Amino acid sequence: MLANFGYGILFITFLVTLYSVFAAIYGESKKMPAMVESARRAMLLTWPLLTLTAGILIYLLVNNHFEVQFVYEVTSRSMPTYLKVTAWWGGQAGSLLFWSWLMSAFASLVTLRKWDRDRELLPWVILVACITMAFFIGMNVFFENPFAQLYQTSTAIEAHTFQPANSILFTPQDGRGLNPLLRHPGMVIHPPMLYLGFVSFVIPYAFAMAALITGRTDDRWIRLTRRWTLWAWLFLSFGLVLGGRWAYDVLGWGGYWGWDPVEIAAFMPWLTGTAFLHSVMIQEKRGMLKHWNMLLIILTYDLVIFGTFLTRSGVLSSVHAFAQSAIGPLFMGFVALTLVSSVGLIIYRWDSLRSETEMTSLLSREALFLLNNLMFISILVVCFWGVIFPLISELFTGQKVTVGPPFYERATGPLFATLMLLMGIAPLSAWGHSTVKTLGQTIWKPTAGAVIVTAIIFATYTRNVYAIIGFFLVAFVILVTLYEYWRGANARQKSQNENIFTSFWNLTGRNRRRYGGYIIHLSMMLMAIGILGIELFQVETQGTVQQGESLSLANYELRYKEIAQWDDLPSGVNYRRAVLDVYQDDQYLGQLVPRIDYYYDSQQNMTIPGQRSTMKDDLYVLLVDWEPASAAGATFKIYVNPLVNWLWLGSLLFLAGIIIAAWPERELEPVIVRANRHVQQTSAAD
């Protein structure tokens, strides 16, 4: 009964969303503000309705209602309550409902703002947001119903939305349980972060389409959605980092990024979103690249939908993907429809999107930002081709082709290096016009410092050519960013008579967007140190040893001490844990405890590494195999991952930079408004 009620609320929400779409169109076409307001209120109703729907699903998950197919597939009696709640987004149907719930929350928030200056945009923002929401809710209503129940007939047990004739409700004794790989704390946070990023990017897209439809092609829509874009980028970026950490801790291959197709599917909208964040500054400052900015936000939106398709269609083999589903073609149809219609709007408004000024210098900041954009799009093309080529190959030849990490690394490496170089040069260039001479006067000091740092690294750490180039670029960008920060603080210190620390603080507060961006640049260079370390200097070994024997790697020695196996019946897990003593240059450092956890409900293993982490390197040990009845000993795989923890440190600084850049600034009252108010007060006094 409760499952049927949940499905009924979901279906009503679908109808309310469709009503909002048609009311917005009708109200705007007939110039009836009351109908547009009705559309807005209908859209506001979707969030409490979907919240009620989600609450019912969570109740079913937590209380072991295994007669519901989704509950049976993703939970079991042995799972703790918090995992049963997070199983909401651990399966196909639940994750689609979670997507719709977030979308309704964001759409409601954006329509609660004051619309006095932008009333003509409102109906079209409602239209785009509700069409997107209706599509995802429709997937739940018609194809992936999270409330479908299991019924037993004379021949089989099947899931149905409504009870078939000659059948009875079937309730299994226990569920299959969530995939062990999804029981890691990172997977509790990683999917919501990605979904928050995906859904947030719908808002700037909706405003962009509203601007095109109404012909309001100035930069107002960009200013209205600036913080939405920043927060979307934060959520998507942090979702990618958390996914990397999850892979590092759980998947057991000693890395954080494997160029998996579904990883790339989440990475592609990040690329266009990052390009968009840089490109809109050119439009705001110089009135240029209006066509380009529209195209970037359209690509970001459709890549979000495309990535959702890749994850849920079953066309790709990936540890991140859901099972094969019939909704894949519908997703592709929706992507094609929105892409064609959006590009059609750009073509329709082509003349009104012309630039207000022309680019006059190849070394100006806008020229360098444009080159930056081209690098991001080039990386996107590489990633898109790598993902889509196996599908094309299978379609035309019937053979599956795998595009592995070597392809991506060789193709994108020079592009990422160029991006890093531009991150160092662009902040020193001027808007409008720069010359080699003026740029050289500011760039020589950071360059000299980077050369010195690189020489020290060459003499003391490595002579690998690729590493030397990478570390030079990292040092160059860090020194340029610090130099720019120091120049601004020094100028403020002299003009305001402040101490240097107060100047740094006030400088950041006065221009959070710019200096938050500088902090983001610094964080990315810290992350680049970690990437260079693990990609270029990772070493590994594997061996089978008896108790008391050792394995050596780099300057580490690991001595196999003991192993134990036991069952934890309440949690339904069999634990196998090995203990190894760790020595470095004959000095005892402590113990590592790698383990293998076997989950009885899902009948799957999860391999948890033993890790010893420092800023210099990560000692990473996996228990590969051990049979208690065998005298063959235990098999371990050992990695030494140099500098990898700089990646995680940089991600924390990245979070701080985004928060600073997106934090609302107190808008100063325009001079003309203050003047008018002064005149009114003077007149009243007279």
Q: What is the pLDDT of residues 570-615, one digit of tens each?
A: 888 999 999 999 999 889 999 999 999 999 888 888 889 999 999 9
Compute the average pLDDT of residues 493-520. Answer: 83
- Residue 13 in any domain: the answer is yes
In the predicted model, is pLDDT for residue 317 greater than 80?
Answer: no
- Is 17 inside any structural domain? yes
Model pLDDT for residues 145-201, shown as the tens digit of each residue? 999 999 998 778 888 888 888 889 999 999 998 888 888 777 788 889 999 999 999
**217 pLDDT above the threshold of 50:** yes
- Residue 224 CA to residue 230 CA, distance in Å, equals 12
Q: What is the pLDDT of residue 397?
A: 84
Task: Kindly indicate the confidence band of residue 675, based on its pLDDT and cuts at 50, 70 and 90.
Answer: very low
pLDDT band at 272 (very low <50, low <70, confident <90, very high): very high
65 occurs within a structural domain:
yes
Chain mean pLDDT for the chain: 89
Res. 671: pLDDT tops 80: no
Give the mean pLDDT of 59-84.
93
Query: pLDDT by residue (tens digit) across 390-446?
Result: 888 877 887 777 888 999 999 999 999 999 999 999 988 988 888 888 888 889 999
Instruction: Answer whether residue 601 is part of any domain.
Output: yes
Is 599 a domain residue?
Answer: yes
What is the 8-class DSSP label of residue 181?
A: G
Quote the pLDDT of residue 678: 41
Helix intervals (H) in 288-435: 290-313, 328-348, 365-397, 405-425
Residue 156 is classified by DSSP as -
Asked if the model's pLDDT at residue 325 lies above 70, the reply is no
Distance CA 170, CA 177 (A): 18
Q: What is the pLDDT of residue 252?
A: 78
Closest CA to 79 of 180, 191, 150, 187: 180
pLDDT at 672 (0 to 100) = 39
Please state, in angstroms and rounded to a whole number, the distance separating the CA atoms of residues 135 and 338: 12
User: And the tokens for 153?
Assistant: 């007939």
| Cα 480 to Cα 464: distance, rounded to the nearest angstrom | 24
Which strands sit side by side in the sheet containing 539-545, from one edge to the other? 539-545, 634-642, 617-626, 610-613
Q: Which residues contact 65 (CB under 8 A, 6 or more apart)?
A: 2, 3, 71
Distance CA 652, CA 636 (A): 32
Q: Based on C-alpha coordinates, what's the Rg of the chain?
A: 28
- Domain membership of residue 479 (yes or no) is yes
- Report percent pLDDT > 70 for the chain: 94
Q: What is the mean predicted confidence (pLDDT) over 662-670?
A: 58
Q: Would the pTM of this model clear 0.85, i.e. be above it? A: yes
Give residue-wise pLDDT tens across range 443-481: 999 999 999 999 999 999 999 999 999 999 999 999 999
Predicted confidence at residue 605, as pLDDT, reads 87
Statement to judge: residues 596 and 447 lie in one domain: no
Position 78 pLDDT exceeds 70: yes
Shared domain for 557 and 576, answered yes or no, is: yes
Same domain, 580 and 492: no
Based on the fold, state whether residues 634 and 656 are members of the same structural domain.
no
Torsion sign (Cα): 72, 73, 75, 77: positive
Going by pLDDT thresholds of 50, 70 and 90, the confidence category of residue 315 is: low
User: Is 527 found in the same domain as 481?
Assistant: yes
Helix and strand numbers (H, E) in the chain are 20, 13
Q: Locate 487 and state its tokens.
A: 């120049």
Q: Measured in whole angstroms, how far is the alpha carbon of residue 148 from the centre of its chain?
A: 30
Of the candidates 124, 144, 178, which is a domain's last residue? Answer: 178
The per-residue pLDDT for range 113-143, each reduced to its tens digit, is: 888 888 999 999 999 999 999 999 999 999 9
pLDDT for the residue 669:
40
Between CA 595 and CA 578 the distance in angstroms is: 6
Residues near 88 by Cβ (< 8 Å), separated by ≥ 6? Answer: 54, 57, 58, 61, 94, 95, 97, 98
Structural domain of residue 135, as residue ranges? Answer: 1-178
Predicted pLDDT at 668: 42
What pLDDT, on the 0 to 100 scale, is given for residue 453?
96
- Asked whether 415 and 378 are in contact (CB, 8 A), the reply is yes
| Rounded distance between C-alpha atoms, residue 210 and residue 213, angstroms | 5
Q: Are residues 448 and 492 in the same domain?
A: yes
Residue 522 sits in the same domain as residue 610: no
Supply the pLDDT for residue 666.
57
Rounded Cα distance between 261 and 390, Å, is: 10
Among 62-71, 180-189, 372-381, 403-412, which is the least confidently predicted range? 180-189
Question: Do the domain assignments include residue 232?
Answer: no
Last residue of a domain, one of 178, 205, 237: 178
Domain boundary among 126, 161, 178: 178
Q: Is residue 598 part of a domain?
A: yes
Residue 457 shares a structural domain with residue 589: no
What integer is the mean pLDDT of 62-67?
A: 95
Do 103 and 44 fall into the same domain?
yes
- Within 398-511, where are the H helices? 405-425, 436-460, 465-496, 500-510
User: What is the pLDDT at residue 314?
Assistant: 54
The tally of domains found in the chain comes to 3
Asked whether 114 and 188 are in contact (CB, 8 A), the reply is no
Together in a domain, 489 and 606: no
DSSP class of 68: B
Lowest mean pLDDT among 70-74, 230-234, 247-251, 321-325: 321-325
What does the pLDDT read at residue 324? 52
- Examine the pLDDT at 313 and tell me if it is beyond 70: no
Same domain, 640 and 652: no
CA-to-CA separations, 223 to 416, 431, 515, in angstroms, rounded:
29, 19, 18
pLDDT tier at 684, thresholds 50, 70, 90: very low
495 or 4: which carries more pLDDT confidence?
Answer: 4
My answer on whether 630 and 655 are in the same domain is no
The tally of CA atoms less than 13 A away on the side-chain side of residue 307 is 26
Quick one: pLDDT band at residue 631, thresholds 50, 70, 90?
low
